[in-house]
Structures are given as C-alpha cells and as structure tokens.
Amino acid sequence: MRKHLFLAIIGAGMAIFGFFLILPAQAAQDTVSLSTTVQEYLSFSITTGDTVAFGNLTPGTPIAAPNTGTIASVTTNAANGYTLAVHDGVAASNSCLLHTDTTTRIADYAGTIETPTSWTGTGLGITLYAADTNKEAKWGTGTTYNDPNNKYAGIPQNATTAHTVTGYHSGADTSSWAYKIDVPNTQKTGSYSGEMTFTATAVLS
C-alpha cells in the first residue's frame, strides 16, 4: 500500500509540474538530382588597330602597318577552343583597297592563307606575328608588326580560317596581326580604301 501510494504521489507530482518523457526524434532522408547544360558563350572584338592608315605609298617601297598591330581578342567558354577567319568579300586576285574611281583596285598579295610566304612582290598582305596561344609556324618566326621574318597572305574573298586555338581557355585570348603593302609602278595614283573582316567561331566538338 505504501509503495502504491508513493508511486501515485510521484505521478501526481509529475502531472502538476509538467514533467514528461522525451523520446528520440525520428529522421528520414531522400535526394534531389540536379543537372544543367552550359551553353556556348563567345565575345569577339578588335581592341587595337581597327583602323590602318598606310599613308603615302611609293611603288617599290613596301609599308608595314600598324605599329600597334591589329589585336583580335576572343573570349569563349567553348570546350574545344575557337577559329579565327579572315575575308574581304572581293573576288579574284583583287584586294579590298578600291580607288575613288570605284573601279581600280590594288591586288592581293600572292601568298595564301594556307601557305603564307616571305614578302616578295606587290599587293596587300596580312600576317600573324604573335598569339597568346598557338601561333602557327606557317606565319613565320617574326615577333613584331614589321619583322622581316613574318610571312604574308593575300586576304581571300570568302572566310578562311587563319588561326586556330584548341582547348578551353578562361579569359580573353588574343592574336596580333599586321599588314604589308606595295604596288607596281603602273598602279594608278590616288586614294584607295576598303574593309576586311575577322570572324571568330567557337569550336564545340
């Protein structure tokens, strides 16, 4: 009887003072699968040398320009790099440099994008003299805009890959280009002007 009375008193005390039994919390887990596909990004600009003035040209005396180079800057997240093509949209062996008579042109330099050559002869030519990544050996061993070791190509009518960068690169990747010009002594006097185009293309696979 005393034992039962004691338990009853303890039980009543717990009820009065709000005591209760704490049981361990139960937990459960499950997972969420996440995925995404990052899309291509490419930004391209000519940061320096987007205007090239050769100045007065004396036949037989080649001029290289610009002394700052034409700097092509490409930023892309493409896993396999990018290509840089050039063209001037002008047919046959004519360059983009057109006389104010709207008929006469200065010729392209004889070297090709596939096989640039050391400067010899006349015409308008382009060269790659420096690159952050992979300057192709075909452009020669020159390191400045007017280096005699540069090799040159005429600028083709249709976009033709002139520089290839492989693999992923974070940040901007630049290449430095220059031009050289000379004309025969039969070239019509006067002012010539025109435009050529660079095209950067991401390589996705």
Give the contacts of 63 (CB within 8 A, at least 6 positions apart): 54, 55, 57, 180, 181, 182
Decide the pairing of beta strands 173-182 and 82-87.
unpaired
User: What 8-state DSSP symbol labels residue 143?
Assistant: -
State the pLDDT confidence band at 202, using cuts at 50, 70 and 90.
Answer: very high
Burial class (CB in 10 A: 0-12, 13-18, 19+), 75: middle
**Model confidence at 66, in pLDDT bands (50, 70, 90)?**
very high
pLDDT confidence band for 19 (50 / 70 / 90): low
Q: Are 96 and 195 in contact (CB under 8 A)?
A: yes
Looking at residue 204, its pLDDT comes to 87
CATH code at 43-202: 2.60.40
Question: pTM for the whole thing?
Answer: 0.86
Percent of the chain with pLDDT over 90: 87
Q: How confident is the model at residue 205 (pLDDT cuts 50, 70, 90)?
A: confident
What average pLDDT does the segment 180-192 reach? Answer: 98
User: CA-CA distances (angstroms) from residue 87 to 30, 142, 156, 197?
Assistant: 57, 22, 5, 5
Cα(171)–Cα(189) distance, integer angstroms = 45
- Tens of pLDDT, residue by residue over 122-158, are 999 999 999 999 999 999 999 999 999 999 999 999 9
Give the DSSP per-residue string, 13-65.
HHHHHT--PPPPPP-----------PPP-EEEEEEE-SS----S--TT--EEE
